A and B are shown apart, each in its own frame.
Chain A
C-alpha cells in the first residue's frame, strides 16, 4: 500500500492513470468514443490547447506565469486571417500569426524580466490588450469567408488518416520536450525556476532565460491561433477567451508546479488530453457542454488538493522511515515544547 501511495506521488503518474481509467469508462459507456473519427476529432480539438499549455509550461517551469496565452491565440488567429483576406500567401500568413504571438511574448518578457514588474499583472494587461485588439479588428473587418484551400489544409488535411494539425503538434511538442530535457537551455529553465538565486550564482543568466520563455510561449500560442483560424475558417471576437484557464488546468493536472522548477511538456500534454477527452466524453453521454468550465475548475482544485495530500503522505513516510536525526518538521517542534 505504501509503495502504491509513493508511486502515485511521482509527478505525472496520477493524471496518466486517471486518463486511462476515464478513457476506459467512456469506451464502455459509448462505443463511438474509441472510433477512428472520434479520436481524430478529439486530437484536433486538443491541438490548440495542448500547444498553448506546452508554451505555458516553459514559463511555469522558469518560475513565471503567462495569462496572455488565450488572448495571444485569439489575436494571432485574427491577424493571420486578416492577412489571408488581404491575399497574402499561406506561408506568410502562418509566419504572421507566429510573429504576432512572439511580439506579445517579447513585450511580456521585456517588462517582466527587464524591469522586474510582477509577471501576473503584466500578462493580465497584455491579455486584456490582445482581446481588445482582436475585438477592434473583428469589428472593422469580417473575419470569415476566405476561400483558400491551402489554408484550410493546415487544419483539415491528413497524412495517412492522421490530421495535419496533430502531426504539427506532435513534432513541435516532441521538440519542446527534447529541448527541455536534453539541452543546456532546458536545464537553465529548470534551474532558474527551482532556485533563481542559486542558479544566478551558478552562472545561469536567469533574467535572459525568463525573457526567452515568454517569447517561446507567445510564438507557440501564435501558431496555435493560426491552426484554430484554419480549423474554424473564421475568427470571431472573443476567440481564445478562457483558454488560459484550460491551459493552466492542463499544466496543473499534469503535475507542473506553479512555483517553478517541476514538470515537463509531456505531462502537460496528458493533462490537456485528459480535459479535452473529458469534455468530449461527457458530450457523447449527453451532458450539457456548458458543464465544461465547471468541470475544468473543479479538476484544477482536485488536482492540486490531491498533489498536496500526496506530498504530505510521501513526506511523512520519508521522515518516519529515515534516521531520527533528520531535521524535525515544524509540527513536532511544537510537540516538543509542550512536553
Chain B
C-alpha cells in the first residue's frame, strides 16, 4: 500500500490537495496573492491587509457559527435576521438609557433565544432545517420592518461602544472585533476538537440514527448548534452596528449567503459531519480578499453579489470535481495494489 501511495502522479496529488476540505480555497488564495501584486502593487501593503483583517471579522463570526450548524447536519438561513434583531436590541436598549453592558447582554441573549427557537422548531416540530430557518428569516425581517417603521436606529454610540467596535487599533491595525473573533475561533475550535459536545456534533451530522442509537441526545446537540450560531450572529450584529452607527430594517439581508459560502468554501459539508473552524477562516479570508480585489481593481460595487454567487458556485464545483478525481485515483491505486499483490 505504501509503495502504491508513493507512485501517485502529480495531477493525482493536486486533485488530492483540492479534494481536502478547504484545499481549493487555499489554492485560490495563494494564486490571488501571487498574481495580484503584479498588477496592483497596493494589494500587498500592510494597510490593505489591515483593512482585510478588520473587514473579514463579521463574515468570519457568522461562518464559524454556520460551520457548527453544518457539522451537526443542519443549515441556518436566519443569521442575517438574527444579526439585525440583535443590533436593534442593542441600539434600542442604549437609547432607553440603560447601561452599555446590559444592552450588550440583552443583544447576545436575543441572538441565543432566536437560535434556540430555530433548534426547537427543527427538533420538536420536525421541520426541515432549511424550511424552519427560511421561515424565521422572513419572520425576523418582518419584525425589523415593523420595529423600525422606516426610521433607522441612530444616536446609540457610547464611548464604550466605539472601543468595542474597533475604533482604537492595537499596533495600528488590530481592532477589538479582531481580538474577539480570534478568541471565538479558538474557543469553538477547542470545543469541536476536544470536548464531548464537539464529538457528538460530528457524530449527529455524519449519522443521525447511529448517534441516537449510541445514546447521544440528537435534539440537544442540534439545539446547541443553533444556539451557538444565533449567539455568534447576535455578536456579529452588535459589532456591525458599532461600525455602521445606524441600524436599518434592511441590515443583514444576504449575509446568510456569505456565511454559507465561507463555511462551504472552507470544506464544511452540507450533508453534515465535516467542517472545521480553520476552514471557515480560510473561506472568510478568500471572500474578503475577493471583495478587496474587486475594489482595488476599480470594479463597481454592484458586481459584488454576482462575484459572490460565482465564487460560491465555483467553490462547490471545484470541491465536487476534486472529490470525484480523488475517489477515482484512490480506486486506481487500489487496483494497482491488488495487482502487485497478485
Contact = CB atoms under 8 A, between A and B. Distances in A.
Nearest to A290: B145
Contacts of A130: 309
Contacts of A301: 121, 125, 127, 132, 135
B135 A300 contact: yes
B309 A139 contact: no
A157 B317 CA distance: 45
Contacts of B317: 111, 115, 117
Contact of A121 (B138, B254, B310, B316): B316
A291 B146 CA distance: 7
A242 B143 CA distance: 15
Contacts of A133: 306
B173 interface: no
Given A120-B75, A288-B146, A132 B303 contact: yes
Interface string B284-308: 0000000000000000101111111
A258 B308 contact: no
Nearest to B147: A290
Interface string A50-77: 0000000000000001000000000000
A126 B314 CA distance: 11
Contacts of B127: 301, 304-305
Contacts of B121: 301
A305 B138 CA distance: 17
A291 B142 contact: yes
A245 B305 contact: no
B74 to A, nearest CB: 12
A113 B146 CA distance: 41
B316 A122 contact: yes
A258 B300 CA distance: 38
A252 B321 CA distance: 33
Given A115-B317, A118-B270, A297-B136, A131 B305 contact: yes
B264 A294 contact: no
B131 A125 contact: no
Main DSSP-derived SS at the A contact region: helix
B49 interface: no
A233 interface: no
Interface residues of B, number: 43
A217 interface: no
Interface in A119-156: 120-122, 124-133, 135-136, 139
Contacts of B320: 115-117
A65 B131 CA distance: 11
A19 interface: no
A338 B260 CA distance: 44
A124 B260 contact: yes
Nearest to B140: A297
Contacts of B309: 125-130, 132
A245 to B, nearest CB: 5
Given A129-B309, A305-B127, A120 B304 contact: no
B142 A248 contact: no
A129 B300 CA distance: 15
A315 B88 CA distance: 45
A120 to B, nearest CB: 6
B306 A129 contact: yes
Candidate in B125, B257, B306, B309 with the most chain A CB atoms within 10 angstroms: B309
B126 interface: yes
A30 interface: no
A300 B130 contact: no
A43 to B, nearest CB: 24
A14 to B, nearest CB: 16
B107 interface: no
Interface in A243-294: 245, 248-249, 252, 258-259, 288, 290-294
B325 interface: no
A293 B138 contact: yes
Contacts of B16: none
A338 B257 CA distance: 47
Interface string B168-203: 000000000000000000000000000000000000
A294 B75 contact: no
A132 B305 contact: yes
A252 B137 CA distance: 16
B27 interface: no
A317 interface: no
Contact of A296 (B132, B138, B261, B312): B138
A120 B310 CA distance: 15
B99 interface: no
A197 interface: no
A125 B142 CA distance: 24
Candidate in B127, B270, B271, B303 with the most chain A CB atoms within 10 angstroms: B127
Contacts of A291: 142, 146
B223 to A, nearest CB: 16
A122 B300 CA distance: 25
A304 B125 contact: yes
Given A129-B306, A252-B131, A258-B128, A120 B313 contact: no
B67 interface: no
Closest 3 A/B residue pairs (Cβ): A132-B305, A129-B309, A128-B309
Interface of A: 65, 111, 115-118, 120-122, 124-133, 135-136, 139, 242, 245, 248-249, 252, 258-259, 288, 290-298, 300-301, 304-305, 308
12 contacts: A117-B320, A121-B264, A125-B261, A125-B309, A126-B309, A128-B305, A128-B312, A132-B302, A132-B309, A139-B300, A301-B135, A304-B128
Interface of B: 75, 121, 125-128, 130-132, 134-139, 141-143, 145-146, 254, 257, 260-261, 264, 270-271, 300, 302-310, 312-313, 316-317, 320-321
